[in-house]
Amino acid sequence: MTGADAVAVAGAAGAADGTATWTLQPVARGPWDARSAHGGAPAALLARAVEALAVDGQRVSSLSYTFLGPVPIGEVEVRTRVTKAGRRFQVVEATLGAGGRTAMELRAVLLRRGRVDLPSGIGAPWPGLPPPEGLEATPSWFLPADEIAFHPTAMEIRVVDGSLDEPAPKGRSAWLRLRIPVVGGESPSGAQRAAAAADFGNGLSTPVGFDGYLFVNCDLHVALHRDPAGEWIGVRSRTELDRAGTGLTTTELHDAAGRFGTATQTLFVDTR
């Protein structure tokens, strides 16, 4: 048991202009600052917000987040609007604000869910990851074992290769599973699970040590060519850094059936 019921708790009822207030719980906190959330927690909350505007069974095709500043633990305001309406193709924008400033922006593309006959062999799965069953759960990472945080309280991580205590110059693979819902009483959707897991890519695959370097993802782009299934999201991530002080993390997203999408993060890099 995690001791937490959900990542976020609803505040006031949603307004007619698409605004709703939420309280991010302590379980949403990130590894660096007890006052700020891990990026995966608000990313999943915003994914839920744009999914609510889907029409006729549309599915989330892409989620493009920009992190404008720390997301605080506590009350936040989520605002959504449709910028391009349509039953085949819809664009939705969302913002997350706190303390009078915008902390995150999201632009999402929703596509119609159809049925298309494709030639044999099209859509065959990429090489998969070893299944999470049989892998050991990663102990507390960065934080003491009794610390309440997004990991390890809300998210379980099972590493496929190597130890999280060591740099991963060739990349790293892992499976991640939300232990608690994003919102109480709801089962997280595949898009919410993917958004929460994708934000771990740069931390899992950093080629340099956390003690000597700072690398902060300024954005997160998640593209899904199909809906993920099941609780576990597999990530195969690799981070490349440049001496100009920038970097890029590229992540394959998997479920038990194989690859279902890709995520990227652009990084600000510096020495500590």
Give me the pLDDT at residue 1, please: 39
The answer to whether residue 152 scores a pLDDT higher than 90 is: no
Q: What's the mean per-residue pLDDT of the chain?
A: 92
Supply the pLDDT for residue 244.
Answer: 95
Helical packing angle, 190-198 and 40-51, nearest 10°? 150
Looking only at Cα atoms, what is the longest distance across the chain? 54
Which among 24, 36, 37, 34 is positioned nearest to 75, based on CA atoms?
24
User: SS3 for 223?
Assistant: strand
- For the cut 80, the answer to whether the pLDDT of residue 203 exceeds it is yes
- Give the integer Cα–Cα distance in Å for 242 and 48: 34
What radius of gyration, in Å, describes the C-alpha atoms of the chain?
18
User: Region 50-63: what's the mean pLDDT?
Assistant: 96
pLDDT of 142 reads: 76
Comparing 65-79, 123-137, 147-161, the range with the smallest average pLDDT is 123-137
Domains of the chain in sequence order: 8-113+138-271 (2.40.160.210)
Identify the pLDDT of residue 12. Answer: 66
* Sign of the Cα pseudo-torsion (26, 32, 37, 38, in order): negative
pLDDT at 263 over 60: yes
- The predicted structure's pLDDT at residue 13: 59
3-state DSSP assignment of residue 187: coil
Query: What percentage of residues in the chain have a pLDDT greater than 90?
Result: 78
pLDDT tens sequence across 90-146: 999 999 999 999 999 999 999 998 888 888 877 667 778 999 999 998 877 778 778
Q: Which residues contact 166 (CB under 8 A, 6 or more apart)?
A: none
Residue 270 clears pLDDT 90, i.e. is over it:
yes
Q: Which residue has the higher pLDDT, 271 or 127?
A: 271
Query: How many C-alpha atoms does 218 have within 13 Å on its Cβ side?
Result: 8
pLDDT given for residue 127 in this prediction: 75
Mind listing the pLDDT tens digit for each residue in 210-226?
889 998 999 999 999 99
Going by C-alpha positions, the residue among 39, 28, 63, 27 that lies closest to residue 190 is 63
- What is the pLDDT averaged over residues 6-17? 77
| Token pair of 155 as six digits | 């998210």
**Residue among 165, 160, 168 at smallest CA distance from 139:** 165
Residues 6+ apart with CB under 8 A from 260: 194, 224, 225, 226, 227, 228, 253, 254
